Amino acid sequence: MTKTENEEEAFIHMALRFFSGIGPGPGIRVGNYHRSVRKKRKRILHLLGLVQANWLPSSEGIKRSEQPVTDRKWNFLRSAKELLDVGIKFKKASGENSLFDIKFEKGRFQIPTLTIYHDTERIFRNFTAYEQFNEGPTYVMDYTRFMDCLINYGDDVALLSHSGIIVNWLGSNEEVAHMFNKLNDFVHLSTSNFYYLELFIDVNNIAGVDGRYGRSS
């Protein structure tokens, strides 16, 4: 490596180490950062772009999201408490793969732990703004939309906290609910490549939610 390449490599590691320390969940690789960063780093023009290119779902999830989207109508999820009432269970995902690696199998969610503190809203809003105005995947936007669906009120936050899915250092459960309810205001959601589309369809099939009133594009 040249001196310039060494300096660039050192900066990447420093930036990723910083964001991994303040990030609200697992998945920001530091020591062995994602190969997409190595391939695209000459074209990454923004610090958030560097982190976003390295903060990805698992390869299995990415492959699934790249499949052609069905033309089926679909609907957003009910809240966590409403889903629990129809028999759907919630469990903290094991391992430290990625914040976005959400699974739904046999009527049970497995969701990585999200730690919420005073800077979490600002972090999500910055990544949302970046994804909104740049071409590419929108994993952060889609994740916050997913959480917004699950969380309507403080009771939903309490349920997810009890399951180990949320660690709340922000304040009351109502404050966390308010944060998620406002995160996607004035944010355009592309339903044609929504990362959790198939998961939503699977959940709603079990929950008995009819897709006739869903959105498609």
Please, what are the averages of pLDDT over each run of 10 residues along the chain (217 residues)? 63 70 60 53 66 73 56 79 95 85 94 93 92 85 95 98 96 97 86 84 82 36
**Helix, strand, or coil here: 91?**
strand
Distance CA 88, CA 32 (A): 36
Side chain identity at residue 150, one-letter code: L
In 3D, which of 73, 74, 78, 56 has the Cα closest to residue 65? 56
- Residue 84 has a pLDDT of 96
Q: Are 85 and 172 in a shared domain? A: yes
What angle in degrees, to the nearest 10, is found between the helix axes of 3-22 and 47-54?
70
- β-bridge mates for residue 109, sequence order: 90, 104
Q: Are 68 and 21 in a shared domain? A: no
pTM: 0.80
The whole domain housing 18 covers: 3-55
Q: Are 91 and 30 in a shared domain? A: no
- Residue 85 has a pLDDT of 94
Domain boundary residue, one of 11, 26, 55: 55
- Residue 136 has a pLDDT of 78
CA distances 211 to 28, 73, 198, 202, Å, are 35, 5, 12, 11
Q: Are 118 and 15 in a shared domain? A: no
Q: Are 159 and 200 in a shared domain? A: yes
Distance CA 160, CA 114 (A): 10
Domain boundary residue, one of 55, 80, 97: 55
